[in-house]
Structure 1
Amino acid sequence: MNMIGLIAFAVMGSFKALREGLDLFGITVLGVLTALGGGITRDLLVNNIPNALTSYSDFAFALIGVWLAIVLYRVFQKDISNRYFILIPDAIGLSAFTTTGAMIAYNADVSFFGIVILATLTGIGGGIISDALLGKIPVVLKDDFYASCAIIGAVAFYISVKSGLSLNSSAIICSLSVLMIRVLAILYKWKLPRFS
């Protein structure tokens, strides 16, 4: 799931760059940061050397996602990041990253709010960074039922682990919660209420 997520997140970030007409370097930077930015930020907050900086595989999968996005863009001649075959792998990535974030936060002995914040940040941080680099309001803050899925999954993780379930069982519950809710949100186009 983590590998799928790295590729899918890199594809989404690269499509943002392609929409804005960035060059190859810009596309690569946005794709890689979207895939790895949340995890790097989380690791820094818990005083760990980011895994993305010590592992060749994470960076390699992010680059595969960048390459795939460029190929898809050339084939379809347009942004296809709203298609199901892109959105579902992205949902898998959100699920995997949120769960990883929750587990690392739990092992870092942070509070309930720390677990929710770090799990959610791991899932959505890369997208926020790439939107900020483009000078845009992050999409997760205005346009989609996305961050909410990570928050719900992190809460489910915390309740599970505090109920006496093992860390692995709690991780599975978190992962399935995020994935199922996100897929339903995609299928039924869920959005949070707006007041403007």
Structure 2
Amino acid sequence: MDAFEFMNVVGLVAFAMVGSLKAADADLDLFGVTVLGILTALGGGTMRDVLVGRTPASLQSVGEMSVAFVGVGLAVVLTRAIPDRLRDHPSVLLPDAVGLAAFAATGALVGSQAGLSPYGVVILATLTAVGGGSLADLLLTRVPVVLREDFYATPALFGGVVFWLLLRLDVTGDTAALVCAGLVFSVRVLALRYDWELPRV
């Protein structure tokens, strides 16, 4: 399993859990929980693939959908063990940080393999990381978290920039992706821990 495959599986499970837990927090039924979990898991990757002109990976085999269902199942189990509101519970925040990191790395990898400009690589890393969660927030009729929390998309931007810089230094794509993911996860967790935010207008 190469870096892309590993990060993709991690991201799918993590974001499927996050989307499902958000849906449970909004008191949706089992179908709604499943739909939101799948959308959160597959949304960013689908946008990524469409932008580079290829058929979304989720439509080419049953693999990605199956992995996402695993994340939904884990979330359903967790809802039985976690009381009250889930949105700010570590069971949501930590998988969300993991998914953000993993998908930023896959987006950067796909962007570099597609021959995108440095700007394109960074944008694709960010969009892959935040796309699915933004779609889920819209279905829940709330402003996407990426527009409310400055240090949600910002770590993905940082990760995309560092990924590109490492490639310029002749670091392999797999190594650059792992560093990207580690950086995104670390910055996101630190932002949660210390309530970092950018200046408001």
TM-score of the alignment, normalized to the shorter chain, above 0.5: yes
Aligned equivalent of 2:165, options 152, 156, 159: 159
Structure 2 match to 1:44: 50
Matched, 1:20 2:26: yes
Aligned equivalent of 2:70, options 64, 69, 74: 64
Shift of 1:42: 0.6
- Distance in 2, matches of 1:96 and 1:72, equals 22
Moved over 6 A (4+): none
- Distance in 2, matches of 1:170 and 1:72, equals 33
Instruction: Please list the CA deviations of residues 98-132 of structure 1 after superposition, one character each: whole Å capped at 9, or x if unmatched.
Output: 11110101111111111111111111100011111
Shift of 1:144: 5.0
Deviates more, 1:181-190 or 1:120-129: 181-190
Matched, 1:88 2:94: yes
Structure 2 match to 1:33: 39
In structure 2, runs of 5+ residues without a counterpart are 1-6
Identity of aligned residues (%): 48
Change (3 A) 1:63 1:144: farther
- Distance in 1, matches of 2:94 and 2:61, equals 25
RMSD: 1.8
Instruction: Report if aligned partners of 1:73, 1:79 keep a CA contact under 8 Å in 2.
Output: no
Instruction: Report if aligned partners of 2:17, 2:95 keep a CA contact under 8 Å in 1.
Output: no
- Distance in 2, matches of 1:174 and 1:143, equals 20
- Distance in 1, matches of 2:115 and 2:10, equals 28
Deviates more, 1:25-34 or 1:4-13: 4-13
Pairs within 5 Å for 1:1-196: 1-143=7-149, 145-195=151-201
In structure 1, runs of 5+ residues without a counterpart are none
Instruction: Report if aligned partners of 1:15, 1:79 keep a CA contact under 8 Å in 2.
Output: no
Deviates more, 1:66-75 or 1:111-120: 66-75
Q: TM-score, normalised by structure 1?
A: 0.90
